Structure 1
């Protein structure tokens, strides 16, 4: 079986060899280090499946091209699937499956690392000391114990983050239209997003997928409802935040700090070296000028354990497809998008 792997980096190749080493049938992987799009879809010709990541484009037109070239399966090596036109995949009879959960602790731990780096200004301290500047002015932070942290989305990552925060002695509030009662209740309480979580939280962390319901959930209105000086962390999806709105909130000091591992326009930039380029994204460049803004390149998932789990789950999804078995990670089933996935707009 031939599989075209797009957006493939050296670490993808290392861990995806697990697929060929452990598959019950021969598999041939062809790696492409660029993303899948309308301009690159022809490179999937001759493949029976494509393996894609978060910034690959699987629009209706791309899916149609894939189907016409003989591709029957779409293997996402990620949890998010907002980049896939599931309705078109349904009509074409394509198999589509994702990796819904991989080391949620990896992302939760990274969210905490961003929060504490932003809060305690360790990024600024590091740069100062390297220049021989040991002045503490401007590095004042806040003790986490006793502070209120709001979590938007209480799937596995949100619950893992809440569990970590409990160890710091934080009060944890959460919002999710589909409460994960049994898993979350030991670590905090569910409240209304606009009336309680945003006004009361010293820190707000986003852990929800990008859907029509959650796109720009952080906007001018929600930012105005936040406690003045609160900090915002996003390790989920860039489209959850309206960038112009957070820039305005940072300038007015309504928002006390921002840490992003994801960005709304990341598709054209992330996972590539642009150090020698003039970056054309003015909003991202404006964000980078704030001393209280951190931006990393979508690396929260990036641990050995997570990459191993991604490869294992991708292999399992592939074997289910080849055997004609029901796949528990399918995003379309019997020619129809799974209602259970589409009906949960916040949980991840």
Structure 2
């Protein structure tokens, strides 16, 4: 029976097809799973969704009515899925609980160093054969303070890189990570971390209690020359409040791989359409802001692990086996 995979990127398609070869028949679609596209899944028992699918009750109801029984999401985060509705409709839901933390941590560092050393501006200039250094001065990160909000596997990987840079480490989480304390990380309150850090990076899940973790008050408490990086979930940062601080001339740089209203925008070509999101339109105009399209996870290593886990999730569903990836078990 054919599996239908939504939101498959061109680089991802051959990896998915190779992983399922000889195991399951799978059809890859480049369209994302939405209320408009969900009817396509009619007759497919298993559907695989991507990170930017919005699986609220309306979408889940369409899938269930069409015969879908398993949603295998190819991501770790699941704040986009109405789990209560899925359970009510008898849908099994599985995710990928683990993939390479280095992919995200390394990309977060890429954003941090890019905005610090004005790499995008420098690259744009040299393409025009403008080799001046005006406006390109960065600063050493060695000896400065890195604040890591969320010290799980990704936060730990980021902290190890920061330690290699010779940075002082501050951490904030519900529980201390012994590997981070071994690096010399000091766990402090969120308020102290924001006030003392030169580089702040977010590696916490998006939940009701973490939505707008970086709100207007948090932004104002940061150093004027701080660097802020978010490669976790867009809803952690109040983007409108961030625009206000940037307009006031604050922050050395901001690197955002995620955006709170990215659904319906990221992974799509909107270059020929009017810009409807005023906040995002403002963000990308600031010379000290770098916005990328939720690509921190997008390495061959991490995507390969995500696909392998998805294959296992389908196999587990077939035999009624439950793993740590299952969010809503089979009825």
Q: Shorter chain as normaliser: what TM range?
A: over 0.9
1:95 alignment partner in structure 2:
92
Deviation of 1:81 (Å): 0.6
1:4 alignment partner in structure 2:
4
1:63 aligns with 2:70: no
Instruction: Give, in whole Å, the separation in 1 of the partners of 2:125 and 2:103.
Output: 29
- Does structure 2 conserve the Cα–Cα contact (< 8 Å) formed by 1:54 and 1:78? yes
Q: 1:190 to 1:333 in 2, by over 3 A?
A: farther
- Does structure 1 conserve the Cα–Cα contact (< 8 Å) formed by 2:320 and 2:330? no
CA offsets, 1:137-192, max 9 Å, x none? 21111101101011111111111111111111011111112x24223222312111
Alignment of 1:217-296 (within 5 A): 217-296=213-292
- Does structure 2 conserve the Cα–Cα contact (< 8 Å) formed by 1:15 and 1:308? yes
1:299 aligns with 2:295: yes
1:162 aligns with 2:154: no
How many pairs does the alignment contain?
330
- Does structure 1 conserve the Cα–Cα contact (< 8 Å) formed by 2:176 and 2:187? no
Instruction: Give, in whole Å, the separation in 1 of the partners of 2:51 and 2:251.
Output: 28
CA offsets, 1:122-147, max 9 Å, x none? 11111112222222121111101101
1:319 aligns with 2:291: no
2:180 alignment partner in structure 1:
184
Q: Return the match for 2:31 from 20, 29, 34.
A: 34
2:15 alignment partner in structure 1:
15
RMSD: 1.4
Gaps in structure 1 of 5+ consecutive residues: 336-348
CA offsets, 1:189-225, max 9 Å, x none? 211101x100000011111111111111111111111
Instruction: Give, in whole Å, the separation in 2 of the partners of 1:175 and 1:219.
Output: 16
- Does structure 2 conserve the Cα–Cα contact (< 8 Å) formed by 1:223 and 1:255? no
Deviation of 1:22 (Å): 5.5
CA offsets, 1:55-107, max 9 Å, x none? 11211121122122211111010111111001111222321111122111011
Q: Return the match for 2:172 from 151, 170, 175.
A: 175
CA offsets, 1:22-78, max 9 Å, x none? 53xxx2212221111111111111101110011112111211221222111110101
Gaps in structure 2 of 5+ consecutive residues: none
Instruction: Give, in whole Å, the separation in 1 of the partners of 2:62 and 2:176.
Output: 39
SS in 2 for 1:19: helix
Instruction: Give, in whole Å, the separation in 1 of the partners of 2:33 and 2:296.
Output: 22
Instruction: Give, in whole Å, the separation in 2 of the partners of 1:184 and 1:267.
Output: 33
Instruction: Give, in whole Å, the separation in 2 of the partners of 1:63 and 1:266.
Output: 20
CA offsets, 1:245-268, max 9 Å, x none? 001111123333211111112112
- Does structure 1 conserve the Cα–Cα contact (< 8 Å) formed by 2:212 and 2:236? yes
SS in 2 for 1:258: strand
Instruction: Give, in whole Å, the separation in 2 of the partners of 1:119 and 1:67.
Output: 48
Q: 1:271 to 1:2 in 2, by over 3 A?
A: same
1:83 aligns with 2:83: no
- Does structure 2 conserve the Cα–Cα contact (< 8 Å) formed by 1:250 and 1:256? no
Instruction: Give, in whole Å, the separation in 2 of the partners of 1:181 and 1:20.
Output: 36
SS in 1 for 2:71: strand
TM-score (norm 2): 0.96
Instruction: Give, in whole Å, the separation in 2 of the partners of 1:16 and 1:311.
Output: 6
Instruction: Give, in whole Å, the separation in 1 of the partners of 2:84 and 2:176.
Output: 28
